[in-house]
Amino acid sequence: MGKARSKKVLVIGWDAADWKVIEPLMQEGKMPALKRLMESGVYGRIQTLDPPLSPMLWTSIATGFRADIHGIDGFVEPLPDGTGLRPVTSTSRKVKAIWNILNQEGKKSNVVAWWPSNPVEPINGVMVSNLYQVPTKPIDEEWPMMDGTIHPKEMEEELKQFRVHPLEITLKMAVQFIPNLATNKELRKEKLTFGMMKVLANAASVHAASTHLMENTEWDFMAVYHDAIDHFCHLAMKYHPPYRPEIPEEDYNNYKEIVESGYRFHDMMLDRTLDLIDEDTTVILLSDHGFHSDHQRPLYIPKEPSGPAFEHSPYGIVVMSGPGIKKGGMEISGSSVIDITPTLLALYGLPVGKDMEGKVLYQAFEDTTAVDFIESWEKVDGDSGMHDKNVQEDPWAAQEALKQLVELGYIDPMDDDIAEQVVKARRESDYYIARNMIDGGRVKPALEILERIFEESKISRYGQRLVYAYLSQGQYQQCQNLIEELRTIEKQELKRIKEEKKNAKDEQDKDLGELHPVLWDENVEEPMYLDYLQGLLYLAMNKPWLALPLLEKVQKKNNTNADVPFNIGKILNQRKKYQMAEKYFIKSLAIDDRNARTHYGLGLSYLRRNKLELALDELLTSVNLNFYVPGFHYHLGETLVRLEDFENAAQAFEVAIRFMPGMTKAHQWLHDIYKNKLHLPEKAEEHELFIQKNIRGEMVIVTGLPKSGAAKVLNMLENGGQEVLFGKLDQEEDVLIGGEENLDMIRRLSTDEQFKADSRDKAAKVFIQHLSNLPADLNYKVIRVIRPIDDIIFDQKKVVQKLKKQELPMDIVAKLEARLNLFNEWTRSRPNIWVLDLEYNDLVEHPLDCAGVISTFLGKDLDVKEMEKAFEK
Amino acid sequence: MSKQPEKKEFKVTHEGSLGVLALGAVGLKLWRQAVEENKKAKKSKADNGKGKK
């Protein structure tokens, strides 16, 4: 066991808490307890996982695993007998939570209202389930405590008294949230008023139970989860200031204070909670995701399962304070919800499971000594206090909670056909698992799930995800086919909706407008996401000239999606139209100013236009928002070099190579800075040696079938400023003659060390059939020129006639295809090959765009204008 | 972490308040006690009123 940093830890969960709401409140002195907690420790943003659905996330927080491993895959699960659905239960969790691990280590835990924790687990300590606070009876009836709500059972009576019924909430309490209740009696009958009272009562119940346990029990670990901020926000974020004209003014005036009051009430509860801890306790307060509170608030919530999650934003809050934690209110970055369990284990001095995805948040610790690891906590025997495998939860107990989920819009009301509903729910859970896998970088297994559920259901949002998955895997043909299929599906859907609208008009159905956003615009022919997906596909296929008009079209219609102007900016940067790119990056930041890659894109534009101070600002912001991207640090370093701030530049490059040790260019910069600017020859030598010993050289290879235009691309590269090693001579090649001269040069790379050393960073044209002869210990950036085989054969025939050689063989097509297979085998066989495919016809028609694509692919600032000219020649 | 130097005392009435709820278990008990006392006082007032008649 390692050294413990803390004896006791209190984790407080505030579902959906977001700095964007908190910051202005704190500035006005309205959240003093949170401010004190921040100032005494560290704070920062915490990244959520996709999909941002709370039961999955809070289980990832408590386990360090993603949903496909921890087993909590949505809001509902089928009843064991398959006769319906119930809210997801703790019995579905397949791995140990932090309290189970601590149980094995002899520690006592109190867990209150964690989602999901019903039925409670038999831990050493007290567990109060997430159904504890949910009222099941009218106020004048006995409110029984369901089985599975409290562990140990003998504490049921004691804790029963701390539940607050929504109808106990008094007018004096309620007017803090809806001031007009004081004078407007009609308002007291509104559904939203009752909703607010219910959320407040739930929060008060959880808080009363947790404070009671804090005062009356011994514990080493305590976790308290509040869902109230999320629920207040889903109820009333649309009324939160600033006012939006789409919202009825009367409603705005009635409900505009609900969200703020919800946050302030949490601060008051926090104040009390902090009063009850001792000096040995470390506090971690966090949310699982944020909540859009500004212009990003959606005006339309899709009528689909988990539709309300559209209101969630990707970053929540994290604050840590107490023993083991740095003091002074320092901001930390790069935290993810999946890091919490490893961080808790590190606080207790326990080893972290190697199978856990998250990392220890060392930047929050005073002592940054590395923690120990074990293979897996799942393999450690002992009394973990987990459920017996045979435990089943009483489904009746869960019905009220299920109703609440329906009311919040997280799940659909039950269909008459229960079996169908169960199938739909299973499919939906598979969809969440697939998204969660993609978010964690495991795209291939997710693809299989998405393909299956889309095939079964033809639900367009499954198809949309599948498009993104295909894109990330470079499966462009499947992607194109799917976009076409989605186009057909959407056309049919639109026809159906328009029909419905026509009928609804007759019936004066005013609510229909909420059904689908396309109803707001009579002229819509298909949803614009299809153009967006098509634009992204073209972008991925290196056809920016086709992507740009589509993205611009989408941008004109929808100015709420920050990704659209970001991608346009990216294309313009590639085209070296930096000034125009800046405009789009700024547009994107106006929608979402916390996107690190947009600040980075803008910084890069400024850097290329020599606006160094502005570049520095943007690149520093990108690094602050996401510290873990080596490219951000690299370009920050480049900017600092140009500002002649060599010390900080060296620091930036050092960070870049810490994340990507093989980043040759950063080592080269460091060598140069230490040698010539900072005069630290030892350090300079260190990097020189590192490059020599550890960094493989990188060559740029241009290849393709004979007569596909590879030689022209090599000329293009040379004109852009790329040094060429061999293959410049556009020798006539044909499918019969293998290019012996070319092969000789390639062999020399393996036999002549000096020649090999000289090849670093240079370009060469290599015949496709010779690629496998390239030495395996170099890195290769390969530009493959693709041309239709018929065109190649046509040109080959001309070569054959010119050289007066024999006729082309009958099996020429098969021979050419065999060579393409050789290429595929070669790229698959080695991990150090990166490929850019360019079509010959695109090179001819859009040489400037292609030059930009090549320059970006190579990570070099080539002269694209010169490259374009060379190709035209 | 530094704590607030002093806490203000306040009276718990049957109407309750967010401050009372935020006190947690202790506040809840006091508030419910105040509600009960208020009920009793009302009842007794009503009973006295009846007696006077």
Positions in chain B whose pLDDT score sits under 70:
1-9, 51-53
Q: How far is A548 from chain B (nearest CA, A)?
A: 53
Angle at A58 between CA A205 and CA A299, to 5 degrees: 85
**Above 70 in pLDDT, residue A721?**
yes
Q: How far is A385 from chain B (nearest CA, A)?
A: 27
How far is it, in rounded angstroms, from Cα A233 to Cα A259? 6
Residue B15 burial by Cβ neighbours in a 10 Å radius (0-12, 13-18, 19+): middle
Sign of torsion over alpha carbons A16, A20, A23, A24? negative
More confident residue, A589 or A521: A589
Which of A34, A110, A170 is best to mutate for the B interface (most B CBs within 10 A)?
A: A170
Residue A738 — very low, low, confident or very high, per pLDDT cuts 50/70/90? low
Q: Of the given ranges (A51-65, A281-295, A496-510, A588-602), which has the lowest mean pLDDT? A: A496-510
Neighbour count for residue A869 (Cβ, 10 Å):
16
How far is it, in rounded angstroms, from Cα A588 to Cα A597? 11
Kindly identify which residue of chain A lies nearest to residue B18, measuring between CA atoms.
Answer: A173
Q: How many residues comprise chain A? A: 873
Q: Which residues of chain B have a CB within 8 Å of the CB of A232?
A: none
How far is it, in rounded angstroms, from Cα A256 to Cα A249? 10
- Across the interface, of B1, B16, B25, the residue whose CB is closest to A173 is B16
Which amino acid does the sequence have at A605?
S
Which of A 144-203 lie inside 8 A of B, CB atoms? 161-162, 164, 170-173, 176, 200
Can you state the angle between helices A544-557 and A563-574, rounded to 10 degrees? 150
Contact A862, A851 (CB under 8 A): yes
Neighbour count for residue A417 (Cβ, 10 Å):
10
Question: Looking at the complex, does the CB of residue B11 fall below 8 Å from at least one CB of chain A?
Answer: no
**Above 60 in pLDDT, residue A491?**
yes
Residue A832's Cα: distance from chain center in Å?
Answer: 26
- Residue for token pair 């590190």: A346
Residue A140 — very low, low, confident or very high, per pLDDT cuts 50/70/90? confident
How far is it, in rounded angstroms, from Cα A602 to Cα A608? 10
pLDDT at residue A521, as a whole number: 53
How far is it, in rounded angstroms, from Cα A265 to Cα A37? 16
pLDDT at residue A523, as a whole number: 60
Provide the greatest CA pair distance for chain A: 103
Q: Which residues of chain B have a CB within 8 Å of the CB of A272?
A: 22-24, 27
What 3-state DSSP class applies to A65?
Answer: coil
pLDDT at residue A395, as a whole number: 38
Which of A159, A172, A260, A261 is best to mutate for the B interface (most B CBs within 10 A)?
A: A172
How far is it, in rounded angstroms, from Cα A392 to Cα A178? 41
How far is it, in rounded angstroms, from Cα A620 to Cα A614? 10
Question: Looking at the complex, does the CB of residue B37 fall below 8 Å from at least one CB of chain A?
Answer: no
In degrees rounded to 5, what are phi and psi of residue A779? Answer: -90, 145
Buried b (16+ CB within 10 A) or exposed e, A430-466: bbbbbbbbbbbeebeebbebbbebbeebebbebbbbb
Which of B 16-35 lie inside 8 A of A, CB atoms? 16-19, 21-29
How far is it, in rounded angstroms, from Cα B45 to Cα A522? 66
Which of B28, B33, B35, B38 is best to mutate for the A interface (most A CBs within 10 A)?
A: B28
Contact A18, A293 (CB under 8 A): yes
How far is it, in rounded angstroms, from Cα A325 to Cα A361? 10
Kindly identify which residue of chain B lies nearest to residue A261, measuring between CA atoms.
Answer: B18
Classify residue B16 as left (phi > 0), alpha (psi -120 to 50) or beta: left
Question: Looking at the complex, does the CB of residue A71 fall below 8 Å from at least one CB of chain B?
Answer: no
Question: Looking at the complex, does the CB of residue B5 fall below 8 Å from at least one CB of chain A?
Answer: no
| DSSP letter, residue A325 | B
**Above 90 in pLDDT, residue A822?**
no
- Across the interface, of B3, B15, B29, the residue whose CB is closest to A170 is B15
Strands A373-374 and A125-128: unpaired
Question: Looking at the complex, does the CB of residue A209 fall below 8 Å from at least one CB of chain B?
Answer: yes
Q: Which residues of chain A have a CB within 8 Å of the CB of B18?
A: 173, 176, 261, 264-265, 268
pLDDT at residue A751, as a whole number: 86
Neighbour count for residue A821 (Cβ, 10 Å):
10
- CB-based contact B28 A162, cutoff 8 Å: yes
Smallest CA-to-CA distance from A194 within A113, A258, A115 is with A258
For residue range A15-44, what is the model confidence (pLDDT) as tens digits? 999 999 999 999 999 999 999 999 999 999
Kindly identify which residue of chain B lies nearest to residue A159, measuring between CA atoms.
Answer: B25
Angle at A260 between CA A254 and CA A263, to 5 degrees: 140
- CB-based contact B22 A272, cutoff 8 Å: yes
Neighbour count for residue A477 (Cβ, 10 Å):
8
How far is it, in rounded angstroms, from Cα A597 to Cα A585? 10
Strands A312-313 and A373-374: unpaired
- CB-based contact B1 A321, cutoff 8 Å: yes
Neighbour count for residue A838 (Cβ, 10 Å):
25
pLDDT at residue A305, as a whole number: 86
CA Rg value for chain A: 31
**Above 50 in pLDDT, residue A396?**
no
Kindly identify which residue of chain A lies nearest to residue B21, measuring between CA atoms.
Answer: A204
- Across the interface, of A200, A212, A283, the residue whose CB is closest to B25 is A212
Task: Please report the domains of chain A, with CATH numbers, ordered by start residue.
Answer: 8-42+86-331 (3.40.720), 419-527 (1.25.40.10), 697-872 (3.40.50.300)
A400 Cβ contact list (under 8 Å, min separation 6):
A131, A134, A135, A136
**Above 70 in pLDDT, residue A517?**
no
How far is it, in rounded angstroms, from Cα A95 to Cα A60? 10
pLDDT at residue A111, as a whole number: 98
pLDDT at residue B18, as a whole number: 97
Both structure tokens of A435: 């998204």
pLDDT at residue A804, as a whole number: 62
Q: How far is B26 from chain A (nearest CA, A)?
A: 8
Which of A200, A207, A226 is best to mutate for the B interface (most B CBs within 10 A)?
A: A207
Angle at A605 between CA A599 and CA A607, to 5 degrees: 100
Q: Where are the beta strands (DSSP E) in A102-252?
A: 109-112, 125-128, 150-151, 221-226
Question: Looking at the complex, does the CB of residue B15 fall below 8 Å from at least one CB of chain A?
Answer: yes
More confident residue, A649 or A389: A649
Q: Which residues of chain A have a CB within 8 Å of the CB of B22?
A: 207, 265, 268-269, 271-272
Smallest CA-to-CA distance from A53 within A288, A398, A317, A299 is with A288
Contact A601, A633 (CB under 8 A): no
- Adjacent-strand bridge partners of A374: A353
pLDDT at residue A420, as a whole number: 83
- Across the interface, of B2, B16, B23, the residue whose CB is closest to A272 is B23
**Above 70 in pLDDT, residue A279?**
yes
Both structure tokens of A573: 């940067």
Q: Of the given ranges (A154-168, A310-324, A684-698), which has the lowest mean pLDDT? A: A684-698
**Above 90 in pLDDT, residue A270?**
yes
Which of A 543-562 lie inside 8 A of B, CB atoms? none
pLDDT at residue A730, as a whole number: 52
How far is it, in rounded angstroms, from Cα A210 to Cα A146? 18
Taking residues A651-680, report their average pLDDT.
90
Kindly identify which residue of chain A lies nearest to residue B5, measuring between CA atoms.
Answer: A275
Both structure tokens of A511: 């609510």
pLDDT at residue A518, as a whole number: 45
- Across the interface, of B16, B18, B25, the residue whose CB is closest to A208 is B25
Smallest CA-to-CA distance from A568 within A587, A552, A553 is with A552
Which amino acid does the sequence have at A795?
D
Question: Looking at the complex, does the CB of residue B3 fall below 8 Å from at least one CB of chain A?
Answer: yes
**Above 50 in pLDDT, residue A513?**
no
- Adjacent-strand bridge partners of A222: A10, A110
In degrees rounded to 5, what are phi and psi of residue A283? Answer: -110, 135
- Residue for token pair 């795209």: A443
**Above 70 in pLDDT, residue A68?**
yes
How far is it, in rounded angstroms, from Cα A613 to Cα A608? 12
Sign of torsion over alpha carbons A196, A200, A205, A207? positive
What 3-state DSSP class applies to A120?
Answer: coil
For residue range A194-251, what is the model confidence (pLDDT) as tens digits? 999 999 999 999 999 999 999 999 999 999 999 999 999 999 999 999 999 989 999 9
pLDDT at residue A249, as a whole number: 95
- Residue for token pair 């099996």: A811
The highest-confidence range among A84-98, A421-435, A454-468, A774-788, by mean pLDDT, is A454-468
pLDDT at residue A125, as a whole number: 98
Neighbour count for residue A306 (Cβ, 10 Å):
19
% of residues, chain A, pLDDT over 70: 92
Kindly identify which residue of chain A lies nearest to residue B27, measuring between CA atoms.
Answer: A208
Residue A507 burial by Cβ neighbours in a 10 Å radius (0-12, 13-18, 19+): exposed
Measured CA to CA in angstroms, residue A409 lies from A234, A297, A308, A858 at distances of 9, 16, 6, 48
